[in-house]
Structure 1
Amino acid sequence: MENLEIRWSKPPKASQNGKIIGYKISYTRLSANDNLVEEDIEETKETDKEYLQLKSLENYTDYSIRISAFTIAGGGPESEPVHCRTAEAVPDPPRNIKVVQGTMQQAVLSWSTPHKVNGIIIKFNVHQRQISNGKNVQIFAVEADDWFYRLEVKIGNSYEWWMTAVNNAGESSPSEAVTLIPNKTVLPRLYSIGQQFCIALGSSIALSCDAVGVPSPSYSWGHNNKAIKANSHFKMWPNRTLSLSSALYKHTGNYTCMVHNAHGTDSVTHLITVVGPPSAPDIILISATVNNVTVGWQRPKSSYGLINYKLLYQMHNKSLHWREVTLKRSNDRYTINNLICGSRVKVKMYAINKIGPGEISGVLDVSTQAPTPEPPLPDQAISTTKTSITIHLDLWRHRECPLLHFVIERKSSDHNWIFVTERLPGTSYEMPGLKPGTMYQLRVVAHTPAGQTVHYFHAKTKNSSTEYPFIPSVEPDGSKSVFTDLHVGLPIVASLLALVLTLVTIAICLKHKMWYCNQEESNTDPIQQPEFYSALNNKKEQANLEPVDYTEEIYPYATFQMPKPYKEKLPQNFQTFVYQSPGMVNVNRCHKMRELPYVDQIIPSEDYDSPEDTHFHSLHQHSKLSRPQPLARNPCPTDNFAMHGKNDSLRKNKYVYTNLTK
């Protein structure tokens, strides 16, 4: 692992825009250009000094370094990148060591390059030891570009081989050892080593199928366990090599070469991955304010070796030019700032990998918020005199979307709209020369960067110096009436229906009640006219009277039916107590009691104990007429006293007790 120390200087004083409190260092490990799948890896560090030591960096690796300063307000722009490469180190040993017997006097040794070369490979060293000779080791130098080496052997001896890789930093540790005992029978064997290849879409590649055997083995190729036939993409050569040209995505998969002769079979498998440009990102709107919009996206599904993104946006109300922004691979959102309210912006983007630029996404059409200007309250928007109307434009509120100007128009009755003036915001405008006592319609068009909003007002000039009240309507152009708004119209309609149903119900009930009362009057039998009882009997004749059978004991109270109010004033100590049983019906069923004619019958005073008794009996004793009128069964409670009779079944549970106190 390597360390790297970097130094820098502060930005110019005029560009600091405040006190610098630290620096952000972004360093990226750059992958090899021939590796189409591996991506760059970025890391960041912060410091308040003007130098930094980066530790534990990979050997012989390219890095890109950028630095930005930040104040308490945020980070500034990054510097131009600086590229550097760490020093070499000893390489890893070769991999996948393999040995096969080529002939009775020859062996073939093959291998793969080290996992980490950590520099430039100068050569490979092949170490050979004949096991029967003990520690005697032979070393053979092989060029760095070679991947196999032929060795002489003798039948019956046992051999052992291992390898090392060499670069400018030194020699690697030894690889794993392989052994071979040559035989008289040379089996069909492949010394090609299976590998993984990532190729670009539309490119070409050749796959080796190097084999030995006596007799020379035959061979065949298969793709994902299906035999390959020569066509416009595949071609098989006499040396058993398979070539693939104009590779498509469908050519991704396993390729197996199989050799066989009379002594046996052998096979080797290669893996090919066809890599193309990235697919189109799926771009969406995250948020929009008055002055900016933020869009986001997800990493494309097919994006091997992704490098960065290109985002393009176009503002409708400025120009048709597409602006381009380069974004890091780690970004997943971007905010377009410094827009005006109501701006329409078209956004699209594409990703770039080591193959090239990918598909462009669909165009996302977004807009910044455009709050409409708010007129003042109705009683503040307009003032009037006998011959003028003043519109207070300075009271309009615009909420982050600036007002540009107003256009004012007016009309009276059914006349056409008349242009009045075009005014700047922040002022008031007076329309002189109007007719007194005339209603005018006013149309005020407020213009903002987002467009225009129309408001209507109604105002009436005065007839005199007295201010006539008016309620100006503020109705934006194209706005709905309250009656067409379901949230308002439905409750209003429901309330009206409920009111109509209530009135109809009351009318039906009143009609039914009047019919019921008339029926009661028509069904009343005149013969069943109630009689009247008085507890004030003639004391002289009381002994000769037959006892009356009452269901209850007669109390010292009078039970009687009252006539129309008597002209003579009653005593102030006259009290009434009312009792009604639970089974009594409502006395308010009829609205008016039918009046009964009556005559007073005065009984001589000598039949009573005192003048008060004579007065009481004269006041309340009535004689029946020759043709008595029927009584209402349920008199309205407007009378001071209730009327009762023996034969009235509906009133038998109600009594009026009149207590006479002297």
Structure 2
Amino acid sequence: MYAVEGLKPDTLYKFSLAARSEMGLGVFTKPIEARTAQSTPSAPPQDVQVLSLSSTSIKVSWVPPPAASRHGAIVRYTVSYQAVNGEDTERHEVTDIGADATSVVLEGLGKWTEYVVRVRAHTDVGPGPESAPVRIRTNEDVPGAPPRKLEVEAINSTAIRVTWKPPLSGKQHGQIRGYQVIYSRLENGEPRGHPNIMDVALPEAQWNIEDTTEYEAIISGLISETSYSVTVAAYTTRGDGARSKAKVIKTTGAVPGKPSMLISITVGNTALIQWQPPKDMPGELIGYRLRYKRADEESFTVHNFGSTDDHYTATGLFKGATYSFHLSAKNRAGTGEEFVKNISTQEEVPSGFPLNLSVVGLTTTTTRLTWAPPAPAERNGRITHYVVVYRDINSQQNSTNRTSDTHMTLHDLRPDTTYDIRIQAFTTKGGGPMSPSIQSRTMATSPAFATSFGVKAVMKTSVLLTWELPENFKSQGLFKILYNQQSVEVQGNMKRKLITGLKPDTNYSFVLMSRGNSAGGLQQQVSIRTAPDLLKTKPVLFKTDENNGGKITINLPKVATTAPISWYYIVVVPGSLTSSRRWENPDEMELDELLEVGKGSPPRHRRRRRYTEIPRAYIAAKLEYLPETFTLGDEQNYNGFYNRPVPSNQPYQCFVMAEMKEQHLSSANEKQRVFSSSPYSDPVMVESGSVARSVDSPEMLWVMGPVLAVVLIVSIVIAIILFKRKRASPLPKDEHLSGVKDSLLANSS
């Protein structure tokens, strides 16, 4: 008996048998035939296609599996379908499809619903593999539900506002192309006349809408003090769907028409407004409302008057400004249509000078200036241009430049020269007063004593300035940094300076000068804006872990605004560094160095002792989002910073530091880091616990191990010496033991 393997399923084979001896192969027997058993198909049906027939049915067609892959007679097909989303997302199957069928119609499907369809073939042995999934969406239909949350509001006597939300997405049955707002006039609660239809078509961009979207329509041209019935229906390309439940609204009573108004401009920046009642005055006149504002203002000044008032004097008007006056009459139904009139006061020369004149850029031959217009009340008209007047302080000859902008660059200046600069604003009537002068010194042409003067880090009350020194630079005295009418001196070999005592969210300009070299003047300048005060409250102790020393949970402050923050840092500062007034607030620390020092993996046991012996500030965590609470000392790594156990038995404080997203200096292409820090927390001291002890125990091994080894070696040496003495001059037994004991006691002490 012999088993032939590796044959194909459902295949007819012929077999012959011959004997073989040493003389060779004998004669084959007559062939016999045998067919292998059937198996499941090894390939799915081919060329599966789907076609949407209606909003609830689709047609699925296919081609049988290749003959070589059927492995038997196909006895039936199975078609499975499953909705991608909606109320029914379960998998369904149609199993009674005959072997000769090449298509089937699936009915009872969801309207405007996407389905995934698969087909598989069966032999008597079982099913073959499924075809690749094919997606199809049923056709659109009219919406199956009305719009939601219909609200109606009377605007005035002839108009109403209608708002609504779309039908739920599962009931839209297609792309909502628009809405029909149907309204009818009611008499005694019954509709009168044909209903009116307002079509609210949606642009194509709004066809795919969300359930929370709200729509609005204004219906005007209505009759005052009349009730109306309002309903809304959504529609697709197949038609409009169900209407919402009707809302009844009554328009308000008729309001007054426009009053007449006369405005006379008087002396002393005032205007006299006089008016007459409206000709169309339904009901009783109960008063007037006057609103007015300057053209560049956003809000109106509003005054209400009684029915007998007929004039008002507006005071404090700006010269050379345009004002808009709005007057309306009121009855018990509401406020009527406004009478609108614009006036312009007479221009004069500015009574004030341009503000905030400052230097924002320097070279050896140029100076860049910026300023702001005079205060609005002092412009006295439209500012047409500015005149900048400047001169060498050692000369009486003035030079002038004219511009309509609020910035200017002075060219062709002399190097290493101080200039006196003023500015004047002009209207069509002439020029106003000169601004107070500022002095600026151009850069020297001699070799620069420092380069790359810039900003390393910006805090809310401090800024870290840095610069580079040439390799062959020799200090010739002190540097001086000027800012906002203040100055600070720096040693000539220094390359950085932390300026403190600044105001949050304020513009500052810093100038680096050298007092000792021959140039002796202004060298480089940078301008910055300090960080805003985002973290106004300090971290607060929440709880300590009594079972695990070195851990404490704190409540973190909340950010006061939606500023663009890139990272938050939790910083721990030993109390000795704050109580000694070295760092009275976090902005007095050089935070960039703190960030570099704090990076790294958890320290080894041998290094931990150094952290306890030399108190220093460190960063416990770097977080993308600021949680409500945070546990210090959990020994986890947070974005490259190790949250080491909090030092025990010594006071410490902590604070939160927010790093804002990258900003660019206005005067250079250099990036600067901007930080806003919270105040220090109150001092806290952690008692020694199990965690603290577990940290100290390896330290004791490093200390006690060598000590014990020394004691052991000394004891052995003493024993050898005593042994030799015993051989040379034997002692009584008690005296020998007493000598060893005394020697050990002496060495151990």
Highest Rg: 1 or 2? 1
TM over 0.5: no
Range into which the TM-score falls when normalised by the shorter chain: under 0.3
Tell me the TM-score normalised to structure 1 length.
Answer: 0.27
More strand as a share of residues: 2
